[in-house]
Structure 1
Amino acid sequence: MSTSPFQPSPAPWFLLGAGNMGTLAAWYLRNADQAVTVLRRQGPARLDKTLCFADGRPAQALTLPVIAPAALRAPIRRLIVACKTPYTDDALAGLPLAGDLTVLRLQNGLGSLEGRLPRAATLIEVVTTTAVKGQHPRHEIVAENHSWMGGPATPPAWFATLARHWPGLAWSDAIRDRQWHKLIANAVINPLTALHDVANGRLLEDPALHAEAAALAAEADTLLRRLDPHWPGDSLPQVMAVVRATAGNTSSMRADAQRGAVTEIDAINGWLLRQAATLGLALPSHERIVAAVRARHPIGKQ
């Protein structure tokens, strides 16, 4: 990236969570000529990764420098939060965050950053239907679908350039609705597939699992209508469309459960239960499945 003395280089992005989605965001940002550095308290000085593409494009190498927070010489002004939600507090602990911090949040569920950022920080939520699988150092982009950013009233100056390098990326003035639609899909698909150790498509094939899915979706719609009377509801058909499109896939929560990692149940179904509690609303299907997942799989701290 070339700069003149009169055009200082933009603040670098620092990345928490160099998994599939964090790596994807870093790849697009680097293609848009923006610097990305991974934040880790210990480990190698760089991460060498390979991005593979299911559509047959040649694999691409991506090298990301790594720095320990204690070695930072200036406050962080741009941060990507892509770690699993149970690790959020530990990842943010002790970071020197600037008052004018801008954050891109690429995490499942909702509420993971509430009360954890400077008061004047700009939080940009990212919702994506792009599918990435694999583990470091190999990440396979299965399908580049649609992604949205939103939160502030207007997109930041750097967004237009990034959108030219991030396929399917758009700015959304209704990011909350997109988050809620994805939240319901995750709240149905993830815990059921994790608890029963099945691929997504099993929710279409098994009548009992389909009935559980319908109950979870209906309860979520009831809550979201209480939060916003304009919520359209009837989310089950959209959830089943996601199931059908990803029938052979393993959900992220099932993958976490299979390798004994903490699950994100508390940021997904748990968020719904916390909102319901403030309204005195019971969500018995969500209560049961959260209890079942917690009993069988760790959830970590939230």
Structure 2
Amino acid sequence: MSTAASSAAPPHWHLVGAGHIGTLAAAYVRAAGHGVTVVRPHTAGPIKTTLAFADGRPLQRLTLPTVTPTSIEQPISHLLVACKTPYTRAALAPLPLAATVTAVRLQNGIGSLDGLLPSGARLIDAVTTSAVKGTRAHHDVVAENTTWFGDDGAAPDWFDGLRAHWPNLEWSASIRRRQWQKLVANAAINPLTALHDVPNGALIEDAALHARMRDLVAEADSVLGALDDSWPGDSLAAVAAIARATAGNTSSMRADVQRDAPTEIEAINGWLLRAAAPLGLALPAHRAVFEALRAR
């Protein structure tokens, strides 16, 4: 790293979406010496929350300052996007983004920031396999697994400092492959568990649900293979392993349906349907779950 890069002041991030993953990201960037402010439509003072870690580290108390979009005086140079994808457009529309803003997208699915950033922005996609649950006031960090950041370029100068405080953080020159792997799993597991109100393990135990999961995976592989002939396909074993490892878990889409909230179906199965259309590929299994969740 150059002397100029190493001496650069750490960035200040504005965070959209202080849910479980957003709050964990805020804790990591704060530990690395970066500033972080949460953007909320209506602010009522700072967010005060706690994080408990599975490895027995002391309970971490975190206080995050908040601002409303209209009270931001300078253009935002660094943005963390961790809100649910249905809320992305409304959340970003009023933000004063710098022409060269760096945005890190910590969201499920693909394409949720398309057309929402300035032409000179740098979009860094993030794919995480970490798991957090709990409430807004308390977050249980169940697993700090690998998180990948990446785009078509080299890691930014702040990345190495952040990696020292973000467990298992890696820069990936092949972030699209990581995104697609997670997309296939989300597209197969999430809508079925949401529609049938079952934990992830039901897709292994129930023969009919397992068959539907198999069809969703096969259709996703057909689209991704048509988009990139290096896509290995045969994703069923990996998806089944995820469902088995998280057998007792409630998927995020099932949780959204349970609380009558919008789901991320547009950015997950919807993305596959939109990608398949110009290729002339019909995805009846994905179309079925997409329409069922849209109509609920």
SS at match of 1:123: strand
Q: Which runs of 5+ in 2 are unaligned?
A: 1-6
Equivalent residue number for residue 283 of structure 1: 283
Tell me the distance in 2 between the aligned counterparts of 1:197 and 1:137: 26
**How far did residue 59 of structure 1 move?**
1.2
**How far did residue 82 of structure 1 move?**
0.5
Q: Which runs of 5+ in 1 are unaligned?
A: 1-6, 297-302
1:122–1:152 Cα contact (<8 Å) kept: no
Tell me the distance in 2 between the aligned counterparts of 1:173 and 1:140: 31
Equivalent residue number for residue 246 of structure 1: 246
Give the number of aligned pairs: 290
Equivalent residue number for residue 259 of structure 1: 259
Tell me the distance in 1 between the aligned counterparts of 2:280 and 2:233: 20
The amino acid across from 1:65 in the alignment is: P
Once the two structures are superposed, the pairs formed by residues 60-209 of structure 1 within 5 Å of their partners are 60-209=60-209
Tell me the distance in 2 between the aligned counterparts of 1:25 and 1:18: 9
The amino acid across from 1:82 in the alignment is: A
The amino acid across from 1:186 in the alignment is: N
Question: How much is the aligned-residue C-alpha RMSD, in angstroms?
Answer: 1.0
SS at match of 1:62: strand
4+ aligned runs moved over 4 Å, structure 1: none
**How far did residue 225 of structure 1 move?**
0.7
2:82–2:107 Cα contact (<8 Å) kept: yes
**How far did residue 277 of structure 1 move?**
1.0
**How far did residue 57 of structure 1 move?**
2.4
Once the two structures are superposed, the pairs formed by residues 24-39 of structure 1 within 5 Å of their partners are 24-39=24-39
Tell me the distance in 2 between the aligned counterparts of 1:9 and 1:65: 20
Tell me the distance in 1 between the aligned counterparts of 2:220 and 2:9: 45
Tell me the distance in 2 between the aligned counterparts of 1:251 and 1:10: 35
Tell me the distance in 2 between the aligned counterparts of 1:55 and 1:257: 31
Equivalent residue number for residue 225 of structure 1: 225
**How far did residue 8 of structure 1 move?**
7.1
Tell me the distance in 1 between the aligned counterparts of 2:251 and 2:55: 21
Tell me the distance in 1 between the aligned counterparts of 2:215 and 2:9: 52
Taking structure 2 as the reference length, what is the TM-score of the superposition?
A: 0.96
1:123–1:152 Cα contact (<8 Å) kept: no
The amino acid across from 1:140 in the alignment is: D
Query: Percent of pairs identical after alignment?
Result: 60
Relative to structure 1, the CA distance from residue 34 to residue 208 in structure 2 (aligned partners, 3 Å threshold; closer, same or farther) is same
The amino acid across from 2:115 in the alignment is: G
1:256–1:262 Cα contact (<8 Å) kept: yes
Tell me the distance in 2 between the aligned counterparts of 1:222 and 1:162: 37
Tell me the distance in 1 between the aligned counterparts of 2:289 and 2:8: 52
Tell me the distance in 1 between the aligned counterparts of 2:223 and 2:11: 40
Tell me the distance in 2 between the aligned counterparts of 1:79 and 1:166: 17
SS at match of 1:126: strand
Equivalent residue number for residue 56 of structure 1: 56
2:201–2:243 Cα contact (<8 Å) kept: yes
